[in-house]
Structure 1
Amino acid sequence: MRTGILDIGSNTGHLLVVDAHRGAAPLPAYKFKQELRLAEHLDEDGGVDASGVQALLDFVEQAQKVADDKGCASVVAFATSAIRDASNADEVLAEVRRHTGVELEVLPGADEARLTFLAVRRWFGWSSGQLVVFDIGGGSLEIAAGRSESPEIVQSLPLGAGRLAREHLKRQPPSEKAVSALRRDVRRTIAQDAGEVLRWGPGHLAVATSKTFRSLARICGAAPSSDGQYVRRELAHDVLLEWLPKLASMSLKDVAELPGVSAPRAHQ
């Protein structure tokens, strides 16, 4: 059955059309993406502002048309942290339903982590052993660890790349003081829950998903997407440590010219 999967993230709206059959891997048939940057359309009360809502409505309406044109029997639509954390989330969801007919569901952070973990497990298989999975979005960081298809440890932290950039990196390139404050904030937040993961153990395989990790890996020498999805890509810790001070001192223009980095995401 051909199905449309509509993902409304903090940075991007993404429609993936797949041919899915029980017992078989879903086959991607078409994708449609658009920059939304909803997390940058928040008002003083933490709600999505009028321009952000309109951008969302326009995208969902267009995505529904694409899904219809591609022969989708159904569309599964969900939203993550930008709408999940918005003070007017219920109103935004109602507006989407009223204007487009699409029932947009909010995916809780814990469920987001579980689904990402399931996808990683299915991709690497049982032979990968204990998995630790990290997923950085625009608004949140999800961590999941376990031995089965369902993770034993699930965490969703307010450490998304876009959120941290807005809160700490207001000037580009950022000052050393701003970078230090960002580092302290991240370490303090992670430390509150890190013990659970550390007690569970290091795992046999650590896997990072999301555009942020892919961009960092590409900067650090990983193969480009044109090499195909089956090429093993790694983000080397020592190489990343060498790059961090360089990235912190670069202008947005220079960062955007690095391999794997798109201009709209260069600030984060």
Structure 2
Amino acid sequence: MRLGVLDVGSNTVHMLVVDAQAGGAPTAMSSTKAVLRLAEQIDDDGRMTDHGADLLVSTIQDFTKIAVSSGCGEIMAFATSAVRDATNTDEVLARIKKTSDLDVTVLSGVDEARLTCLAVRRWYGWQAGRILALDIGGGSLEMSNGVDEEPDIAISLPLGAGRLTREWIQDDPPDRRRIAVLRDWLDAELRGPAKDLKAPGKPHLAVGSSKTFRMLARLTGAAPSSAGPHIQRTVTQDGIRQLIAFISRMTTADRAELEGVSADRAPQVVAGALVAEATMRALGVDRLEICPWALREGVILRRLDSEPAGPMTIAQ
């Protein structure tokens, strides 16, 4: 079947058109992105602004047309942190339903962690044993630990790279004292959750997924995306620590010139690196494998596993 997967994130809205069948790996046919920065469109009362809602509604209209013209029989639409945190979520979703006839499922943070766990498990297989999976998004950090496709424990924390950039890193380049304080704060925030995450057992494999970890791996020497998804990529705690010392002295414009850093990600790469370093330190993980599959693939795989279609699927 041909599926449209619409991912409404804190930073970007992404429409992925895939050919997929049960028992097979989804094959991407096209990818369309729009940088909306929805997390920055939340006002002081917690509402998504009219401007942000208008942008989202019109973008989804356009992306729905792309999916239909591409021959998608179904569109699976889901939203994460920015939409989840808004106090007027229902109002915004009602507008999307009215204009695009699309039901958008708002995932909880724990559901994000569980679906990412599914994707990571399918990528590495059962022989990988117990897997610890980490995913840093724009608004939240997801973590899981387990031996099955359903993790023994799944945790979501409001420690996304974009969120921490807005709340902690206003200077350009970042204030060095502020960076030190943020490091200490992250250590305190992660101490309890890390203990809970480690409780089910020591992992045989520690994995990082999502754009932030892929970007950090590239900045510390991993192969570029053009080398394909099957090239082994890793990132180490020492490598991230050295990277922070380098990029935290740079302006956003200078970071955007680094290979592997896009202009829209350049403002939040320092915060993303700090979260990654602190999380690995709290968990006692020195090295992460980088998984090319993450939340979107987990959503697709869950759909293919379910018959009839689950609530996240709408028929055209």
What residue number does 2:177 align with?
Answer: 177
* 1:113 aligned onto 2:113: yes
Q: Distance in 2 between matches of 1:102 and 1:187?
A: 41
Match for residue 12 of structure 1?
A: 12
What letter is aligned with 2:68?
D
* Aligned-partner Cα distance in 2 for 1:50–1:130: 45
Pick 1 or 2: higher relative contact order, CA cutoff 8 A, min separation 6: 2
Letter paired with 2:207? V
Which residue number in structure 1 is paired with residue 207 of structure 2?
A: 207
Q: CA–CA distance in 1 between the matches of 2:140 and 2:60?
A: 22
Q: Is the 8 A contact 1:20 1:26 kept in 2?
A: yes
Instruction: State the shift of 1:105 in Å.
Output: 1.0
Distance between the aligned counterparts of 2:182 and 2:101, measured in 1?
41
Question: Contact conserved, 2:145 with 2:198, CA < 8 A, in 1?
Answer: no
Superposed, 1:79-228 pairs within 5 Å as 79-228=79-228
Aligned to 2:51: 51
Give yes or no for contact 2:217–2:235 (8 Å, CA) kept in 1: yes
Give unmatched runs, 5+ long, in structure 1: none
How does the TM-score come out when normalised to structure 1? 0.97
Match of 2:28 in 1: 28
Partner of 1:266: 266
Count of matched residue positions in the alignment of Structure 1 and Structure 2: 268
Return the offset for 1:181: 2.5
* C-alpha distance after superposition, 1:212-248 (max 9, x if no partner): 1111111100000000110000002222211111111
Partner amino acid for 2:113? A
Does the Cα contact within 8 Å between 1:215 and 1:259 map onto a contact in 2?
no
Are the equivalent residues in 1 in contact too, given 2:5–2:17 (CA < 8 A)?
yes
Give the partner amino acid of 1:230. H
How far apart are residue 200 of structure 1 and its match? 2.8
Q: String of CA shifts for 1:2-37, please: whole Å, max 9, x gaps.
A: 110110000111111111212222221111111111
Tell me the alpha carbon deviations over residues 59-84 of structure 1, each in whole angstroms, 9 at most, x when there is no partner.
10111010011000010100000000
Tell me the SS of whatever aligns to 2:44.
Answer: coil
Identical aligned residues as a percent? 48
Deviations 1:144-182 (A, max 9, x none): 110011100100000000000000001111112211222
- How big is the shift at 1:185? 2.5
TM-score normalized by the length of structure 2: 0.83
Q: Which runs of structure 1 show a deviation greater than 3 angstroms over 4 or more consecutive aligned residues?
A: none
- Tell me the alpha carbon deviations over residues 166-210 of structure 1, each in whole angstroms, 9 at most, x when there is no partner: 000011111122112221232222113111123333311111111
* Distance in 2 between residues matched to 1:165 and 1:12, nearest whole Å: 16
C-alpha displacement at 1:44, in angstroms?
0.7
CA distance in 1, matches of 2:115, 2:225: 23
CA distance in 1, matches of 2:202, 2:159: 21
Match of 2:242 in 1: 242
Q: Which residue of 1 aligns with 2:42?
A: 42
